[in-house]
């Protein structure tokens, strides 16, 4: 089958057909990671571009994201059996006060595809939750997302919590989201800002490999 068809159904938000095509692709012995990248990630990257260009809006992104999640549930049990060796661990979450998770979910999905174990804190995550979880699982990287300018300071709160605990230097801090910039990352002493999910996944993998 042509995986561009799967990508198209995800973009349209047709969860039922997206799941059906994932299962069909697996029956045809298409590599799970190929299904992930060419069918699911491709769809969300294209949706992200359309969103940035104001060709679609949040409701359309949410529908596509839900379709992707449904399809992913059918795929990940297979990826866990045949996927890449785990190379490192990441804690990721949308910061306190912010409930947007489309970008975060895409970053998490793409990082998983590179062999990184993800612990997702979800949305509206307290600084203490980032700290406690990072310590508990022995994370390599702490990733934070924010879509609202009003919640950007919460990223600083997370890093400050790690500093107060005397463990900030144990981790690499990556941040992202529509209002975030490289300058803001420098202001709050974050290590990296990435503009999209693809660059975030590649950077995280490189950081872990170099450790």
With a pLDDT cut of 90, the percent of the chain lying above it is: 65
Residue ranges, CATH 3.40.50.280, the chain: 88-210
What integer pLDDT is reported at residue 3 of this predicted model? 96
Residue ranges, CATH 1.10.1240.10, the chain: 3-82
What integer pLDDT is reported at residue 80 of this predicted model? 61
With b for 16 or more beta-carbon neighbours within 10 A and e for fewer, the 169-192 pattern comes to eebbbbbbbeebeeebbeebebbb
Q: Which tokens go with 210? A: 């170099």
What pLDDT, in 10s, does the model give residues 32-50? 888 988 998 889 888 878 8
Based on C-alpha coordinates, what's the Rg of the chain? 17
Model confidence at 83, pLDDT cuts 50, 70, 90, reads low
What pLDDT, in 10s, does the model give residues 153-163? 999 999 999 99
What pLDDT, in 10s, does the model give residues 20-29? 999 999 999 9
When pLDDT is averaged across residues 103-109 and rounded to a whole number, the result is 85
Nearby residues of 72 by Cβ (< 8 Å), 6 or more positions away: 36, 40, 109
**Planar angle of CA 178, 183, 189, nearest 5 degrees:** 105
| Domain at 3-82: CATH code | 1.10.1240.10
The per-residue DSSP string of 62-97 comes to: HHHHHHHHHHHHHHHHHHHHHSPPP-EEEEEEEBTT
pTM of the full predicted structure?
Answer: 0.77
Q: Where are the beta strands (DSSP E) in the chain?
A: 88-94, 116-120, 141-145, 172-176, 192-193
Model confidence at 106, pLDDT cuts 50, 70, 90, reads confident
CA distance 140 to 172: 7
| Domain at 88-210: CATH code | 3.40.50.280
With a pLDDT cut of 70, the percent of the chain lying above it is: 97
Model confidence at 86, pLDDT cuts 50, 70, 90, reads confident
Cβ proximity of 140 and 171 under 8 Å: yes
What pLDDT, in 10s, does the model give residues 190-206? 999 999 888 999 999 99
What pLDDT, in 10s, does the model give residues 122-138? 999 999 999 999 999 99
CA distance 175 to 94: 10
């Amino acid at each position: 089958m042509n995986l561009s068809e799967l990508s198209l159904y995800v973009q349209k938000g047709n969860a039922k057909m997206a799941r059906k095509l994932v299962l069909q692709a697996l029956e045809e012995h298409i590599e799970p990671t190929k299904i992930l990248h060419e069918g699911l990630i491709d769809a969300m990257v294209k949706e992200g571009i359309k969103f940035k260009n104001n060709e679609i809006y949040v409701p359309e992104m949410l529908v596509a994201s839900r379709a992707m999640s449904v399809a992913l549930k059918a795929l990940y049990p297979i990826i866990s059996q045949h996927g890449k060796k785990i190379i490192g661990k990441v804690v990721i979450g949308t910061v306190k006060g912010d409930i947007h998770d489309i970008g975060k979910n895409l970053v998490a999905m793409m990082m998983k595809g590179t062999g990184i174990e993800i612990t997702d804190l979800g949305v509206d995550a307290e600084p203490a939750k980032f700290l406690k979880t990072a310590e508990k699982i022995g994370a390599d990287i702490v990733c934070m997302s924010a879509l609202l300018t009003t919640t950007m300071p919460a990223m600083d709160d997370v890093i400050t919590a790690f500093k107060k605990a005397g463990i900030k230097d144990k981790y690499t801090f990556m941040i992202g989201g529509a209002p975030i910039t490289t300058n803001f990352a420098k202001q709050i002493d974050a290590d990296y800002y990435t503009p999209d999910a693809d660059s975030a996944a590649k950077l995280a993998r490189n950081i872990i490999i170099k450790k």
